[in-house]
Amino acid sequence: MRRFLSLFLILVIVMGALPAATGQQEVIPLSSSIYSEMDLLFLITGSGTPSGSRPWTKAEASQMFSRIDRDGLKETGRELYDSIATTLETGLRWNLSDGFSLSAYLDLSLELYGHSNTDFSSQGAWEYSFVDRRPLARARLDMALSDYFYTYADLQYGYGPYTYDDTLPRLQESGHTLVGALVPDSSLNNLRYFDSNTPLVQYTKKWATNVLPASKHFDFQWPKRAVFSVGTDTLNFSLSRDKISWGNSKIGNFVVDDHVDYHEYARFTTFSRYFKYEALTIFFDTHYAAYDHFQVLLAHRLEFRPWDVLTVAVSENVMYKDKVFQLQYLNPAFILHNLNNHSTLNAIAHAEIDWVPAPSLRLYGQVALDQATAPNEGDNEEVAAWALLAGLEWGKELKKGILTTLLEGSMATPHMYRREAVDFLMAQRYAGLPDGHWDTQKFDYIGSPYGGDALVFLSETRYILPDSLTLALTMKSSFHGEVSMYTPMDDKNSPYGSKLFSKDKIAMRFSASLSGSYVIEHTPRFLHSIELFSSLSLLMRGQYSQSARAFVYTGWDGQLVLGATITV
């Protein structure tokens, strides 16, 4: 590591004098602050909402950003505007005379985790969990050719989702007979797996860090992010392993959400000031199965902006699972629900709305309908499944920063994402040591991390100083019935129906988190940036019995995270 760092610093010094160039097809990662900053700028100016289909390219972000007039902003708004403009105008690190440009960065992160109750021992029991935690070291490489081509890949050294010390269960040993339609009985094959509730050693420790004591704990899934992107100033095509998100929900978006580690997808977008079209195909690993098949999500999304203050998006999304791929299904202009094959397809219709009726106030919502049926479908009629989300956000410039408050609620009925033949579940394969863990699967929902049979409320208050300080207080309450991804489903004669909490037990959880981050502005020349961050969380969980009308308290936990990232 020391030798690699020395060589990297020499490269920075030698090439530091070369001018930078803007690569318009650069895909901005969802971890970038530009998304929250753009949302804030549009909110306080009453300019509506930027596109909820993310990530954006720089070309798309620049097109949206051009709607804002800097001259009409107050001092804090101008600082926020300038922060976004700097991000969009700063291209790759070094530029050659033939239009080729490249960047190389090294992120060194140190994190400390502590909690008071070791019974909170799974990824889902932590507010700051695996997808949030940073690797000890990450090298990033970008390359671009003019404004038409961009590619990115990273190398990282950090903990995997499980470690060498973990003894992971097998499905047959755990008592599960299936994982929805994803893993039916015939393909169990003594599969080793974990999910958000599986106890893991790294989350059990009272005190832990992201410093690996041995390389045997290393995350073998890398590059964790890999992007190939080509396009113009109004369209883009990308092949990526990356996070992707449709919607602005803080709880979880219904179709595609960024709570998972990554998705692997092909994506086409074209956009103007008032319209955006997207065709998306997400590819899923089926290596776990004892029978040969493929699974992909075919989706298309249309986003309209009839007025500056209103954005409406509709999408049709089909999970497609079969042995032979029918190429005609790739036509994104087709109404995919009309393919009408229940044994290989499951469709979710989805709509979003964002409305800013006045500067500083935003109302938004989402609705999803899983496998809608017409009144005369007869034997094909299935149990209704739907999900609904609503939120309100208010923001105000306060001294040199911006204060925002957000309230959001989300619900999904028991059959949401779940069907007999094809469902909206995913398996992500993680390689690790020791032997026998090489094909370990993590099971998850593609959309909302809570799945169906769930009711969730969230409030968040943030104070932001552009380019410097972020403070946030987040409170969340969730109520989850007994229907999960392991519950057997019958599409026509379900005992769960479309009613929430149709079985007796309701799992309840409450969390309150105070978090903050600070970017040090003045750093030595050889450093790109220094960020300090921390969070303090209080969690409580319990279970309510509807038949006994009694609540059983099962525990609480205090969780602390301290961290710093240096980028060179």
Ordered by where they begin, the domains of the chain are 2-567 (2.40.160.130)
| DSSP assignments along 218-242, one per residue | B----SSSEEEEEE-SSEEEEEEEE
Instruction: Report cis status (omega within 30 of 0) of the bond before 223.
Output: yes
Residue owning tokens 């001092």: 75
Distances (CA, A) of 70 to 83, 396, 556: 12, 17, 48
To which H or E segment does residue 109 belong?
A: strand 100-115
- Are 435 and 475 a contacting pair, CB within 8 Å? no
- Residue 380's pLDDT is 55
Phi, psi of 124 (to 5 degrees): -70, -15
Where are any strands of DSSP class E within 414-549? 425-430, 440-445, 454-465, 469-480, 505-520, 529-545
Please tell me the pTM assigned to this model.
0.91
Place of tokens 């979003």: 352
Q: Which of these, 128, 124, 122, 154, lies nearest to 141 by C-alpha position?
A: 154
DSSP for residue 317: E
CA distances from 566 to 87, 138, 209, 381 (A): 18, 11, 16, 57
The CA distance from 351 to 365, in Å, is 8
Q: Would you state the structure tokens that stand for residue 507, as one six-digit string?
A: 């799992």
Residues 6+ positions from 512 with CB-CB distance below 8 Å: 473, 474, 475, 537, 538
Contact 439, 429 (CB under 8 A): yes
- Is 333 exposed, middle or buried, given 0-12, 13-18 or 19+ CB atoms closer than 10 A? exposed
Instruction: Give residue 134's Cα distance to chain centre.
Output: 15
Contact 76, 402 (CB under 8 A): yes
The pLDDT tens digits along the chain (568 residues) read: 444 444 444 444 444 444 445 689 999 999 999 999 999 999 999 999 999 999 999 999 999 999 999 988 988 999 999 999 999 999 899 999 889 999 999 999 999 999 999 999 999 999 999 999 999 999 999 999 999 999 999 999 999 999 999 988 888 777 777 888 888 766 566 788 899 999 999 999 999 999 999 989 989 888 999 999 999 999 999 999 999 999 999 999 999 999 999 999 999 999 999 999 999 999 998 888 777 888 999 999 999 999 999 999 999 999 999 888 888 888 888 887 777 677 888 889 999 999 999 999 999 999 999 876 655 555 556 788 999 999 999 999 988 899 999 999 999 999 999 888 888 999 999 988 876 677 789 999 999 999 999 999 999 999 999 888 999 999 999 999 999 999 888 877 778 877 899 888 999 999 999 999 999 977 787 788 999 999 999 999 999 999 999 999 889 999 999 999 999 9
Separation in Å, CA 497 to CA 449, 452, 482, 502, 529: 21, 12, 13, 8, 53
Q: How many CA atoms does the CB half-sphere of 239 hold within 13 Å?
A: 1
Which one-letter amino acid corresponds to residue 222? W
* Backbone φ and ψ of 381, nearest 5°: -65, 135
d(CA 542, CA 505): 10
Torsion of CA 463, 467, 468, 471, to 10 degrees: 20
Signed CA dihedral, 62, 67, 72, 76: sign only: negative
Instruction: Tell me which H or E stretch contains 94.
Output: strand 94-95
Displacement of CA 347 from its chain's centroid (Å): 21
* Spatial separation of the C-alpha atoms in residues 63 and 276, rounded to whole Å: 12
Give dist(CA 198, CA 264) in Å, integer: 24
Q: Any idea which residue has 């981050």 for tokens?
A: 517
